Amino acid sequence: MKQVEEFLIGRIWLRNFVPFPKELVDRAIQIGAISVSLGITKEKQCVRCLEKSSQKIVSFFCAACQKTCFYCRHCIKMGRISSCTELITWAHPSTIPLQNHSFSWNGQLTPQQERASQQVQKSLLQKNDHLVYAVCGAGKTELLFPAIFVALKKGQRVCIAAPRTDVVLELTPRLRAVFPQTTIHSLYGDSPEETGFAQLVVATTHQLYRFSNAFDVMLVDEADAFPYSYDEALKRAVLKAKKKEASIVYVSATPSSHLLKQIDGVSKLFKRFHGYPLPVPAFQSLWRYEKEFAKGKIPEKLKEWVDERIEKKEPFLLFFPTIELIEEAIVLFKKTHPMIEAVHSQDVNRKEKVMKLRQSQIPGVLTSTILERGITIPNVQVAVVGADQPIFNAAALIQISGRVGRSRDYPDGKIIFFHNGITRQMDKAKKMITSYNGGQ
Amino acid sequence: MNCYLCDRKISLQVTWRSLFFNEPDDVCCSRCRNGFEQVAAGCPICSAEGEGKCFNCVQWEATEYEGLIDSGTSLYRYNPSMKEYLHRYKFLQDVILSEVFASVLKEELQGQKSVIVPIPMNDEKLKLRTFSQVDRLLDAASIPYTHLLGKNRVALGEKSKAERIELQNVFWWNEKRVPEKILLFDDLYTTGSTVRMAAKVLKDKGAKEIKILTLIRA
């Protein structure tokens, strides 16, 4: 029963998919240690992901119960939830004993980081929400370490939620090194099964659907990132996963004005940890680039830029507005440089390709906005094709620019916005980056 | 509307045709649609690639299943996009995805003279999956059909072809009147044993001509 508690406490799980014998689960239900609820409420809301739009909660004739049932398309990849699906959660109070934790980090916080770190701890103590507004490469993760350690020692359960798998994958090994005694679970789509009770959970915001009333401290990394900012369901999931009185620490380089207004405690860090300024984007016209690609030609200026990167052996990221344009362009680029790769959200080999770029096995990558954040490659050079397209709003452009010059060894680098006309969002991104460099 | 498959917004394509004919909007975007590969030509029974009757179907003709199937078609190849689709439809139980091939099936089956008979599931499997993926494909296309068969509880999945042939009594006749001309419909054609076992029962009960249609040729 101990194992069932460790697994199920704070979680909400499909009854038929728990990794325990049916008899054990049945007995726990009988004695009231596990509570059961149906998957879709009468108001047609999914109990796991809280989705309720009629596009995502759809009806069908269910052969199991011989009547019309509803199911949720939003979280279907985690196992389908329908009106007759049973969800279970641990109902008894926790009997999990206090665990030992150690903190093994010998890095040094800059005075700015130190100040923000103290402010985060103070907000947590006072049970207030907090926002860390820090530019890309300010060292946001490190400044959270002390607060995490304090919470763990108190026996609190801590969650770090990030919008993308790529970010979770980069964060997990760092946390495991810093908290070597702590059981840490790393959760994302298709992550390997973890056992035991984890006091520290690193998860994609999607995986939070599977938690309920679980966390005493909730850290939301890249709080503005797609899909988090777009997706109401994910916002609700953050609220559902944490305990009622638990506070949320938002971390973002590009917080929305809404978030800035909503939260009283804000720490600002406009300097990178290595002290060098943020690279400021340069605008370069690339007239009628879509027509050029459609004609089977790489626009001349772009071709020169890529050739130069390859000649200088500088790794590069080339951002595109649509998957369709990436697919058109990659064929053309591969003609002259067969080692160049393309990645986008629908690409199953994304992880491997980014790894290859890191290890200098390939010269560069054409990408959608999927790689706009959370990725650090020393000496990487970046350009955006079609920076005037609506998908590249100021926040996205700032994040993309933030990929450049992150490492101490290569603190500068170039970021170019190739465009078919300068937009307000491009101007805004450039202005904000310049203002960060000028201090407050 | 968002694409049923990739969940990205479908951009409205206004054409002269769409202005004058009230055609239903496609439920998936053109990029996802183009990921499926339609069968251009192939075996006259199972649509396997190549010219003329395929090796597999020729082999069947040397067994007691000889001559059971008069002709047949499969509509799509089992490429990565189709594998992903079938996984989501059947195993993730995303029932609404039955609509993805509605217009294709409608075009293929409208005005069909033969009685359309879907390959059934056994009752236990049906309860577990909560829907019959074969029936729902036809329902989505508004194609009428008649069930003439029931299925026993044996899983074909793990059986080799030789073992499958051994399993004589997978299907049973449900005692409804059997018409002379039948079109058997299934989602996936793999070894061809399912449709042949079904066809055998129906020909024993008086069917004269049996055609087959499957959505996918594996």
> Per-residue pLDDT tens for A233-274?
778 889 999 999 999 999 998 888 888 888 889 999 998 989
Judge: B95–A73 Cβ closer than 8 Å, yes or no: no
Nearest CA in chain A to B95: A60
Closest by Cα among B73, B53, B66 to B203: B66
Strands (E) located in B114-195: 115-118, 149-151, 171-173, 181-189
Mean pLDDT of chain A: 92
Q: Do B31 and A82 touch (CB under 8 A)?
A: no
Q: Report whether the peptide linkage leading into residue A227 is cis, meaning its omega lies within 30 degrees of zero.
A: yes
- Interface probe for A, chosen from B130, B134, B137 (most Cβ of A below 10 Å), is B130
CA of B81: which chain A residue's CA is closest? A346
Q: How far apart are CA A136 and CA A415, in angstroms?
A: 14
In this complex, the residue of B2, B88, B130 whose CB is nearest that of residue A62 is B130
Taking residues A328-333, what's their average pLDDT?
Answer: 96
Q: Are A332 and A415 in contact (CB under 8 A)?
A: no
Amino acid identity, position B106:
K
| Alpha-carbon separation of residue A268 from A36, A110, A133, A144, A436 (angstroms) | 44, 13, 5, 14, 10
In this complex, the residue of B92, B95, B128 whose CB is nearest that of residue A77 is: B92
Contact A18, A27 (CB under 8 A): no
How far is A318 from A320, CA to CA, in rounded Å? 7
pLDDT for residue A255:
87
Side-by-side strand order, sheet with B71-77: B71-77, B209-217, B181-189, B115-118
Q: Which residues on chain A are in Cβ contact (under 8 Å) with B32?
A: none
Q: Do B96 and A60 touch (CB under 8 A)?
A: yes
* Cβ neighbours of B94 in A, within 8 Å: 73, 76, 80
Q: Can you tell me whether residue B35 is helix, strand or coil?
A: helix
pTM score of the predicted model:
0.85
Bridge partners, residue B115, by sequence: B182
Nearest to A6 by CA among A183, A196, A185, A158: A196
pLDDT (0 to 100) of residue A440: 42
pLDDT value for B161: 64
> In the prediction, which pLDDT does B167 show?
59
> What is the sign, positive or negative, of the torsion defined by CA atoms of B3, B6, B9, B10?
negative
What residues contact residue A314 under an 8 Å CB cut-off, 6+ apart? A379, A380, A381
Share of chain A above pLDDT 90, in %: 78
Closest CA to A72 of A98, A90, A50, A101: A50
Neighbours of A193 (CB within 10 A): 6
Q: Which DSSP string do the residues of B36-102 spell out, in sequence order? A: S-B--S--TTT--SSSSS-HHHHHHTTSTTTT---EEEEEEE--HHHHHHHIIIIIS--GGGGGGGH
| Chain B residues within 8 A of A58 when measuring between CB atoms | 95-96
B9–chain A nearest CA distance, Å: 12
Q: How far is CA B3 from CA A232, A390, B100, in A?
A: 19, 20, 10
Taking residues A100-123, what's their average pLDDT? Answer: 94
pLDDT band at A349 (very low <50, low <70, confident <90, very high): confident
Dihedral angle, C-alpha B153, B158, B163, B169, nearest 10 °: 10
Residue B206: the pLDDT is: 93
Amino acid A355: pLDDT: 87
B131 → chain A, closest CA residue: A63
Tokens at A209, concatenated: 């659907």
Reported as a pLDDT band with limits 50, 70 and 90, residue B13 is low
Q: Looking at residues A418-430, what average pLDDT do you find?
A: 96
CB A130 within 8 A of CB A249: yes
Comparing B194 with B11, which gets the higher pLDDT?
B194
Q: What angle do CA A390, A394, A395 make, to 5 degrees?
A: 110
| pLDDT value at residue B42 | 92
Contact (CB<8Å) B2/A55: yes
